[in-house]
Chains A and B, each alone.
Chain A
C-alpha cells in the first residue's frame, strides 16, 4: 500500500513505470503476435500515409509500419537490457574493487574510471563494435554498448560503497561484532539497492538510445534484422513522402528513453518513500500585525525591540521578545539551542529566511525599520549594523579572497574606492590583532585558521563603523585560549568604538564575565533580564539558576557531580501549557501548569517571567 501511495504522490513516475511495463510487454508479445504482419508485403500500398489498414502507413516495400515498430521493440529494448546487464556484471566488481583496493591505489583507479566516463561512450562503442561486431554479431554489439556503461556502474558502486563504509551505523555494527559477509548483505546491499535500481534503469535508457543510434548510423543491426534505429534511418530517407516513417520510430525511442530513465527513479522512490517525501513547502505568510505601539521613547537607545515574533514553517519560534540596548552596551543573549536566540538576532537584522514571517517592531538609532524603503534600509543597516556569524568557515565565501569580502560593504555603502577600502580593511585587521593584514587580504578563507577567520569576521563587521554589532556564538568552534582572546577583543572593540554588542551564546559563564546585561531565553521568550554582576546572587528564574548550577567552576570540589537540567527543551510544535519550563522545573505548582507567567519588570529594572520567582529551590 505504501508503495502505491508513494507512486500516486508522483504521477510522472507512475506514467513512466506504466510505460516501461508496457514496453516490456510489447517486447515479449510483439514478435509473437505481429511477427508475420511486420514482414507482409502489401504492394497495393507502398510508402503510403496513414490509413485504416495501416495506422502509421507503410514503408517502401509496403510493410505495415506500426507492426514493424512493435516487433522491433524486442530487439531495441532487449539489447538495451542485455547491454546494461553486462555492464553491471563488469561494473559492480570493478567498483567494489576500487572501494576495497586501499587508499594507495584507489585515487589512480578512480581517476582511470573518471577518464573513461569523460570519454564519449559512443566513440568507445564504435571502436569496440568495429572490432567485435564482425566476429560476435549481436553479442559484440551488446559488449560494445556495455563497456561505457560498465564504467558508469563502477563509478556508482564505488562511490556508494565508500560513502556507506564511512557511516556511523556500519562502524557501530562492526563494533558489536557483526561479521563482514553479514555486514554486506544486511547493511551494504539494502543501502545500495535503491541507487543501483535507479542507475540501472537510467543506464538501460542510455543503452537503448545508443543502440538505436548505432543502427541509425548503419553500424548496428544489419538487414534483414530491424530495430527502431534502422527504421528511423530508413524513415529519414523518405522524410518528404512519409514523415510518419521517421516520426514513429523517433517517438518510440524517445518514449523508451524517458520511460526507463524516470521509472527507475519512481521505483526507488516507492521502495523508500521516506527519503523522497518532500517536506511541505513552507509558505510565506504576510507579516502579521503592525509594530506594537509604545514601549518607551527609545530615542536615546541604540536599539529597541518591541514584541518581536518570528514564525517559520508554521511554528512560532520567537514569541513577543522586547528589549532595549543602550549605546555601547554589551548584552548577552543566552539559552539552550532552539531557544530562539539566533532567530531573534536575525529578526532584528532583517536576515531571516524568506519563508519566515516576522511581526513586531525594531527601532535602530531612533529609526523604525518598518517605515523605511528598501534602498534606505539597505544603506542604513549596511552601515549601522553588522553581524559576525557563528561558523567563520562556512560564513566566508570560499571562492572569494578575504579582501573582496572585507571591502565590498564599504565600497557599496560608503563609496570608497578599492584603495581606500583596502586601507580601511588593513587598519581593521590590525585592530583585531591579525598579523600580515595585506597578505590576509589576498588570501582565501581556507588559508586562514579558525581563530584568524573569527577575527577577520569581527574586523569585517567593523568596516563601516556600525553602532550595533551582533555576534552569534563567536567562540563556539574555537579552543579555550583563542576563545579568551576573541572575548578580550570584543570587549575592547565595544569599549573603543562605543559599539553596542549583542553576544549570543549558550555559555552563561562567558556572558556573565563579558556582558553588562544578560537576557535569558527559553522556548522563544525572554524569561529573565538582569545585570550580569547580579546573576550569581539575584537570579530569580529557576531556569537561570539551573543554568548557573550547570556551569563548571573551580570552586566545585572534585568528585562532586556537575548539575544538569533534567529533561529536554520543549518541542515548539507541542508547547506545554502554562509556563513552558514547568515540566523541568523543581518549583512547578498548579498555576505554572495552567497559566503562562508574564515577563514582569521590578522597580530595579530587572525582568523575570515566573510565578515562583525567587522562591527557594528544594534541595
Chain B
C-alpha cells in the first residue's frame, strides 16, 4: 500500500557489518597475541642454555653471563616478554645465533620465494577445483555415468590423502628422473617451479573439487534451483548464478583450511626441491639450534595463516550475508 521508507538500505545492515568486522578484528588480535606469547615461551622452554649454544661448551661463567645480559635473559620473564613484544612490533626480531645476521633480514630474503610458491599453489587450487568439481557434478548428476563417478571418487580420495612430500617424490621420479622434462631441484627459471607447485596443489585441488562436486549436487537438489528452472533460465545461468554463490561459502571455508596445509607443505617442498624459503630456513635453524630464527619463522608462518584465515572469514561475510545475521 505505502511506499514510505523506500529509501536507502537500512542502517541496521551497516551496524551488523561493523560489529562483524569488529569481532573478527578482535579475534585476530587475540590470536596474534597468543602467537607472540607462544613463540616467546618456546625459546624459554627449549632445554639447553642459549649462551651455551652461542659460545659452545668452553666459555667462562663471565662470558655466559655477558651473553645472557646481551640477550636480556637476566631479566624476569614478564620484562623479557614486554621487551620481545615491543621489539617485534618494531620489526626487530633479534639476530641469528649462528650467522649474527638480523633475523628480519634473513626472513626478508626468504619470504618472497615461499610466498610465490604458496600463492601460485593457492591460485591453482582455487582456479581449478571449482570448475573441476562443477563439471564432475554436472556429468554425474541424477546418478548418471556411474563409472565416471567411481573413477572420480577413487581419484580424488587417493590424491586427497597422499601427502605432498610423497607426491613430490613421485613427480620427481616420473618427470625429472625418467622423462627428464623438468629439473629435479633448484630455483632456476619457471620450469623449476612447475613440480613444486604441482606437488603442493594437486592434493588440495582434488580434495576441494571433491567437496565442490558434493556441494553442487546438494545445491541442484534445492528448491531454489527448481524455482530458477521454472524461469527457464539457460543451464549456464543456473550453474553460475544460482549454484555457484551457494557453494562458494563452503569452497572458501575449506580453501582457507587447505591454505594452512599448503603453508605446512612448503616446508617439505622447499626441502625436497632444495629451494630457499621460510620452510628450509625453519628446518635448518631447528637443526642448528638457532632459536631466534626458529622463533621468528614460526611467528611469521603462523601470522600468514592467521591473517589469511581472517581474510577468508571477512570474505565469507561479504559473499553470504546470512553469516552476519546468524553468528554471534
Residues of A within 8 A of B (CB): 12, 107, 111, 115, 117-123, 126-127, 130-131, 134-135, 205, 209, 212-213, 216-219, 232, 236, 239-240, 243, 246-247, 250, 253-254, 257-258, 261-262, 281-284, 349, 351, 353-355, 377-379, 381-382, 386-387, 389-391, 394-400, 404-405, 408-409, 412-413, 430, 433, 435-439, 442, 444, 446
Contact = CB atoms under 8 A, between A and B. Distances in A.
B6 A437 contact: yes
Contacts of B245: 397, 399-400
A444 B271 CA distance: 49
A213 B165 contact: yes
Contacts of A258: 157-158, 161-162
Contacts of B217: none
A82 B7 CA distance: 63
Given A12-B154, A120-B264, A400-B241, A444 B321 contact: yes
B264 A217 contact: no
B37 interface: no
B173 A246 contact: yes
Interface in B1-53: 1-7, 9-10, 27, 31, 38, 42, 45-48
A397 B322 contact: no
A471 to B, nearest CB: 12
Contacts of B246: 397-399
B186 interface: no
B68 to A, nearest CB: 20
Contacts of B263: 120, 123
A236 B169 contact: yes
- With most chain A CB atoms within 10 A of its CB, the pick from B38, B142, B161, B162 is B161
Given A246-B173, A378-B232, A400-B245, A216 B165 contact: yes
A398 B223 contact: no
Contacts of B261: 120
Contacts of B143: 281-283, 355
Contact of B230 (A120, A351, A433): A351
Interface residues of B, number: 80
B123 interface: no
Contacts of B61: none
16 contacts: A12-B154, A119-B302, A120-B301, A123-B263, A123-B264, A127-B298, A135-B47, A212-B163, A232-B169, A254-B161, A394-B223, A400-B242, A404-B241, A408-B241, A439-B5, A439-B6
B195 interface: no
A351 B237 CA distance: 17
Contact of A412 (B45, B237, B257, B320): B237
Contacts of A355: 142-143
Nearest to A404: B241
Interface in B245-268: 245-246, 248, 256-257, 260-261, 263-264, 267-268
B208 interface: no
B77 interface: no
A317 B141 CA distance: 22
B268 A118 contact: no
Given A111-B27, A435-B1, A398 B6 contact: no
B142 A354 contact: yes
Given A217-B268, A282-B142, A397-B228, 15 more contacts: A111-B27, A120-B264, A123-B263, A126-B286, A130-B42, A247-B173, A258-B158, A355-B143, A377-B232, A397-B242, A430-B3, A436-B2, A437-B3, A439-B6, A439-B9
A444 B233 CA distance: 20
